[in-house]
Structures are given as C-alpha cells and as structure tokens.
Structure 1
Amino acid sequence: MIIEVILLFYLFNLMKELHAGEDAAAELKKKRSFKKYTYRGIDLEHLLDLNLADLAQIMHARARRRLNRGLKRKQNSFLKRLRKAKKEAPELEKPACVKTHLRNMIIIPEMIGNIVGVYNGKVFNQIEIRVIFF
C-alpha cells in the first residue's frame, strides 16, 4: 500500500514536470520570431524604402558603379514588369513568372518575392528571388 502511494506520488510529479516542460517549449516557440534579414546592417524594411542612389552607396563597388551609371531601358522595363506582376498577384500568393534574357541584372530589394524566368540559351529557368540572394 505504501509503495503504491509512493509510486503514484512519483508518477504524479513526473507528469507535472512533463507538462511544465511542454508549456515552457510552447512559450519559447511563441517568443521565437522569424529571422530578421539585414544587408550590411540595414533591415529589409529600410532597404525597400531606399531609392537607387542611396542603395548604390551601400552596395559593393561593381554594383555601385553600375547603378551610378544608371539602368538601361531593358532593365527598367524588366523592373516595371516585375512590379506589375507583383501588383496583379492575389494576396498571399506568388506572382506570375516574368521571363527575361537579362542574366546580369543586379538584384535590388524591390525584386524580392518575384519569380523570374531566366533564359539560358535554351529554356527559361524559373527562379524565386529571396532575401538570401540580395
């Protein structure tokens, strides 16, 4: 009888500790947020607000030189088509693929989230532009 009571007490304490551990894990999961992406110490939200001239100042030399010289007509029309595809996409869905031959286009923050079909000489390879590409 005493052994049964001790075992029940021990099992009760074990169950109590297990539930406490689950609650702590649930709280930790709630506190955990998504990874905050930065580029050279600047958050993604602030990067989206920058214009091309300010963005060029924080990029590496090759990209800075190219952006300072200005984007050509093809690059501007490509960005225009990306904006249009993103605007026409339904909420919480990926935008339609935008095909291009511009393999050497510099990825800028406003392109993040778009799907681009890059021509390799034979087919268009679809690429989703993510934060890690920037």
Structure 2
Amino acid sequence: MSVEIPAEWKKFRYRGKSLEELLNMPMDDFIKLLPARQRRSLRKGFTPSERTLIEKIRKIRRDSKADKPIKTHVRSLVILPEMVGLKFAVYNGKQFVEFQVVPEMIGHYLGEFSIPIQKVEHGEPGLKATRSSLFMAMKG
C-alpha cells in the first residue's frame, strides 16, 4: 500500500512523526499519538459502517482508483494516515460536502469537515412575524 507523497507533504509532522512514518506505523502505535477522545474511540473498535468504509478505502488504495470522491454518511470516523490524499463526500444532513484529506486533518473526525449547521440570515420581518408587527400599518 504505497502512497505517493507530494513534496509539500513531506515536511508535515504529526506529534514528531513524518507522514511516511505514520503510514508504516502499526495501528496500536498510531493510536498512542492521538488525543484522548480519538484514542478512546479507536480503542473501542470500529462500528460496522466504519469498518465498511475502511475496507472501501483500502480497496480504492489497492486498485488506485481515487478519481471520484468516496461518498459516506459516516461522520464519526477518525481520519487515519491511510486516508491522506483521498477525496471524501460526507453527508451533512442535507447534502454531501466534498473535501480532500490533507495531512493536517489526521486525528480529526470526518464530520468536522462537513458542517451541518448553516448560518441563518434573517430578512425583514413581515406581517405576523412578531407580536410588534400586529400594529404595523398595512401596506397598500
């Protein structure tokens, strides 16, 4: 499972380890480098949906078919070093948000990059929008 690492990613370090070292590291050693929340979720094991996604990722890596983004509803999966360079489309409850995994995302969750909440921009209040609008003069 060799991955071509672009030149700008070779400078990347995660807790003192290069991307190449992270890719060759056993999962148990990698888990020790993660923050507590991610470490705990990986130690508990993968859910069936997470396991299916990881198998899909490994199959794509083996066949080197990384053209289209990998669509998924799994937001709770921790980004692993083997996911670097792949494109994902994570469902945010309304649509799939596409992004490419870069080394700086290692240790974060997939859901962190597919924000489900949109900023609300309110317009002007209309009739019966609030109690005070009851006393507004009717237009026209």
Provide the TM-score with structure 2 as the length reference. Answer: 0.64
- Compute the displacement of 1:103 (Å): 1.3
Show CA shifts across 1:28-87 (max 9, x none).
xxxxx6451110001111100122211111111001111111112211110111122233
Mapped partners of 1:96, 1:108: distance in 2: 19
Higher relative contact order (CA 8 A, sep 6+): 2
Match of 2:131 in 1: none
Match of 1:3 in 2: none
Which among 39, 45, 62 is matched to residue 64 of structure 1? Answer: 39
Pick the structure with more helix per residue. 1
Which among 26, 38, 49 is matched to residue 51 of structure 1? Answer: 26
Percent identity of equivalent pairs: 33
Show structure 2 runs of 5+ residues with no match.
1-6, 107-140
- Compute the displacement of 1:118 (Å): 0.3
Name the amino acid aligned to 2:64. Answer: A
- Compute the displacement of 1:133 (Å): 1.1
RMSD over aligned CA atoms reads: 1.7
Alignment pair present for 1:129 and 2:101? yes
SS at match of 1:79: helix
Provide the TM-score with structure 1 as the length reference. Answer: 0.67
Alignment pair present for 1:80 and 2:55? yes
SS at match of 1:64: helix
Mapped partners of 2:67, 2:77: distance in 1: 19
Match of 1:106 in 2: 78
Mapped partners of 1:72, 1:103: distance in 2: 12
Match of 2:121 in 1: none
